Structure 1
Amino acid sequence: MRILIVDDHPINRTLPAIWLGRRGHEVVECGDGLQALEAIAHERFDAVLLDICMPGVSGLDVCRRLRASEGPDCPRIVAYTAHAVPEMLDEMHETGFDEILIKPITEEGLLRALRLT
């Protein structure tokens, strides 16, 4: 499986990349929403692990753009966030995320959210 991990903090990309790589998945990392949109425009991914609060293009904006442009071919999009307040969770669901992971995450939770278990 090809998985794109998007987070503006490199340390937040490291652990999921290690867990997924150890299981044989191909991982690509991006540091912001604009880089993610560029990567998705040129490469095919099966899933996107997407931080919500990033400078420039937010994770919410990336999700909206992907849903609008990719249609039924859209990869699975998992929100990856520290923001667990009900209003933000509602907005993430309304935006079209397939799953929401609250940081700090566990390997089991990551695999479940990406439907790898």
Structure 2
Amino acid sequence: MSQSRNALVVDDQPVNRLLASRMLDKLGWTVAQADSGPAALDWLAANRADLIMLDISMPMMSGKEVCQRVRAEAGLGGQGIRIVAYTAHGQPEERAEFLSIGFDAVLVKPISRDSVEKVLSALALPAAAPATGAGVA
């Protein structure tokens, strides 16, 4: 199974982006990063992703707004892309809100490889065979 899986990790905190990107990379994903909502939308307009790990609390444009834009615009991935809220906000009412606006799952920080694998499995996005040379973009 050499099907390439492309992910975009969006977080305004470099350490959080790096951690999530490395975990996905080790699970065989090709990973790109964006440090803001506008940068994520620009990247999605020019590239294809199977998965977006999207921080909720970012300056300029929240992750909720990015998710709503992606869902509304087919050119950004529309309904075909899996979007995971990657956040410190994990209360039940917050999770329900995220799911109601278009997120497919919620991953509460701090994350672990196990929590990432569980979310990917629940979304029918199992880890690909790790590819040599796959890297963080």
TM score, norm. by length of structure 2: 0.79
* Partner residue in 2 for 1:88: 94
Q: Distance in 1 between matches of 2:101 and 2:41?
A: 16
In the alignment, which residue of structure 2 is the partner of 1:56?
Answer: 60
Q: Give me the whole-angstrom Cα distance separating, in 2, the residues matched to 1:6 and 1:46.
A: 14
Q: Which amino acid aligns with 1:113?
A: V
Partner of 2:85: 79
Cα deviations across residues 79-114 of structure 1 (Å, max 9, x unaligned)? Answer: 000012233222101111100001011112112223
Does residue 102 (structure 1) correspond to residue 108 (structure 2)? The answer is: yes
> Any stretches of 5+ residues in structure 2 without a counterpart?
128-137
- The CA deviation at 1:43 is 0.3
TM-score, normalization: structure 1?
0.92
Shift of 1:27: 0.3
Q: Displacement of 1:64 after TM fit?
A: 0.4
Q: Number of aligned residue pairs: give it.
A: 116
Measured against aligned partners, the alpha-carbon deviations of 1:45-93 in whole angstroms (never above 9, x if no partner) come to 0100000000011000010011111244x31000000012233222101
**Superposition map of 1:4-83 within 5 A:** 4-70=8-74, 71-72=78-79, 74-83=80-89
Letter in 2 for 1:42: A
- Cα offset for 1:17? 1.1
- Segments of 5+ residues of structure 1 without an aligned counterpart are none
Structure number with greater Rg is 2
The DSSP-based 3-state class of the residue aligned with 1:8 is coil
Q: Cα RMSD between the aligned structures?
A: 1.3
Q: Percent identity?
A: 42
